[in-house]
Amino acid sequence: MRAALKVVIAAILAMPAAAALAKSPDCASWPTNMALVHLKNAGLIDIPSVIDAQTKAIRLASEKIGKDLHQQVYDIIFHTRDGKTIEVITNSRASSEECSMSGVDVYVVSTKIGGSVALPSEGTGARSK
């Protein structure tokens, strides 16, 4: 798990963010939906309890890796009716024609240390507030 997380972090840091984000497809729905399925299968969330209007998906990075193929990393935060907040980082591939060009790697953020209060991940994780 730690090795996989290091790979995702390295991918984020290696991506030229501004130029790549302008041309890459907006594919937040695919990793968001797949993250929910993975969280449900892991027993971490009950899908009907998720408040869809409060779900936030923020694209952290997108890198063009082929002709019309992009590697994308999202920070996704889910809120449930019982007050639980779960944050995940996803990694997947997308094109302008198809968001599901690969499976979705999902990493649960269990603890956030440091950073700014303004960041969306502050105070979230796989724990109840």
Of the candidates 71, 89, 73, 74, the residue with the CA atom closest to the CA atom of residue 126: 89
d(CA 88, CA 12): 14
Residue 65 belongs to some domain of the structure: yes
Mean pLDDT computed over 109-128: 59
State the average pLDDT for the chain: 83
Confidence at residue 4, expressed as pLDDT on a 0 to 100 scale: 64
Q: What is the pTM of this model?
A: 0.73
Confidence at residue 22, expressed as pLDDT on a 0 to 100 scale: 47
Confidence at residue 29, expressed as pLDDT on a 0 to 100 scale: 96
Residue 126 belongs to some domain of the structure: no
Token code pair at residue 15? 């991506």
Residue 7 belongs to some domain of the structure: no
Q: How confident is the model at residue 116 (pLDDT cuts 50, 70, 90)?
A: low
The predicted-structure confidence for 41-100, as pLDDT tens digits, reads as follows 999 999 999 999 999 999 999 999 999 999 999 999 999 999 999 999 999 999 999 999
Comparison of pLDDT for 2 and 25, the residue scoring more: 25
Q: How many domains does the chain have?
A: 1
Domain that holds residue 83: 28-108
CB 79 within 8 A of CB 13: no
